[in-house]
A and B are shown apart, each in its own frame.
Chain A
Amino acid sequence: MTKEVMRRLATDNAYLHKDFHGALSDGLIYLEQRYGGEAVREYLRQFATAFYAPLTQSIRERGLAALQEHIERAYALEGGDIRIAGSEDEMLLEVASCPAVTHMREAGYAVAPLFGETSKTVYETICAGTPFACQWLHYDEATGRAAVRFFRRQP
């Protein structure tokens, strides 16, 4: 039997490992079981505050266009079906089905009961400290189908 060797460069493949959604989901399940649901939201706020700080800053500077670009890029990468409409002061995001939830269901990963917080808490945190807020109109836990309205806060 011969020795098998696989050599790959980073440029040989595209970076898209959807199983990571399953790992994040398991992380949320663990957090909720050990520390409760508020721990899930607290962790996601901590993550979003730190990691998306440049995006939050960009929304302060450029408005909802910056958020729209971020969302479009993320869903395009993962093959998500979304629709975005709006103006400078308001934006409606409709997600036909969430690529993360779709992948987890297809691959047999457990979908955390609070997985929707990866959108709800994260978008709320991204918008905190900007002139904008968000309002969830609909979220379907089974598919991740969602509708969310981003709008300029009243002074």
Chain B
Amino acid sequence: MISCTEFIPAYSELFKYLEARGGPEAVLDFWNYLADNFLGNLHDLVVEHGIRGCWLYWSHTLNEEAADFTMELDEEVGEFTIALHRCPSRAMLNQLQHVEPYHNYCGHCDALYRRVLEPLGYAYHIDLTECHEARCTLTVRRPNSPTEGPT
């Protein structure tokens, strides 16, 4: 059994394997597949609870992943944000001495959640400029939110 605590390196190596077989398009195709088949819980929570569904989804995952984060929900404004001060996944990959992370590892967080949330009408933005240091910021805005628009 590959322990769930060893999943992140397995995930990163899967991206490498796919890219070696079919280029970056093969990796993106997998991310799209995963968004469609694995993130049904995020989709269903947002359909049922609106933007609070994001809060419910990430409350579960970020706590189980022992992340260092600040999460904010403003339902009146229609905005949900995560400031990931230390992404446990990326931090784990950065710490590994004997395995190199997939070069666009953090790209999956852009592709997967965007594919779930944008078809539901939400604006999704993730700032990955510091992702190599295991930090990022994710913002979801409800349709017709007063602050909706490019960030």
Whether B1 contacts A3 by the Cβ 8 Å rule is no
Q: Known contacts A1-B76, A99-B1; decide if A6 and B66 are in contact (CB<8 Å).
A: no
Contacts of A23 in B (CB 8 A): 7, 11, 34, 38
Q: Known contacts A1-B76, A75-B1; decide if A51 and B6 are in contact (CB<8 Å).
A: yes
Taken together as a complex, chains A and B put the C-alpha atoms of A124 and B71 apart, in Å, by 42
0/1 interface trace, chain B 1-18, chain A, CB 8 Å (1 if under)? 111111111110110110
Whether B1 contacts A17 by the Cβ 8 Å rule is no
Interface residues of B (CB under 8 A from A): 1-11, 13-14, 16-17, 21, 29-30, 33-34, 37-38, 55, 59, 61-76, 86, 88, 96, 98-99
Whether B13 contacts A6 by the Cβ 8 Å rule is no
Whether A15 contacts B7 by the Cβ 8 Å rule is no
Whether A46 contacts B13 by the Cβ 8 Å rule is yes
Q: Known contacts A10-B88, A27-B34; decide if A50 and B98 are in contact (CB<8 Å).
A: yes
Contacts of B10 in A (CB 8 A): 24, 47, 51
Whether A4 contacts B55 by the Cβ 8 Å rule is yes
CB distance from B74 to the nearest CB of A (A): 5
Whether B55 contacts A14 by the Cβ 8 Å rule is no
Chain B interface secondary structure, helix, strand, loop or mixed? helix
Whether B9 contacts A51 by the Cβ 8 Å rule is yes
Which of B3, B14, B74 makes the CB contact (< 8 A) with A78?
B3
21 A-B interface contacts by CB (under 8 A): A3-B74, A4-B55, A7-B69, A12-B63, A12-B66, A13-B63, A16-B5, A17-B61, A17-B65, A19-B64, A21-B7, A23-B11, A30-B30, A30-B34, A34-B29, A43-B13, A50-B13, A53-B98, A75-B1, A98-B1, A99-B1
Whether B67 contacts A10 by the Cβ 8 Å rule is yes
Contacts of A30 in B (CB 8 A): 30, 33-34
0/1 interface trace, chain A 107-129, chain B, CB 8 Å (1 if under)? 00110000000110010000000
Contacts of A110 in B (CB 8 A): 37
Residue A5 interfacial (CB < 8 Å): yes
Contacts of B1 in A (CB 8 A): 74-75, 78, 80, 95, 98-100, 118-119, 144
Which of B13, B68, B69 makes the CB contact (< 8 A) with A51?
B13
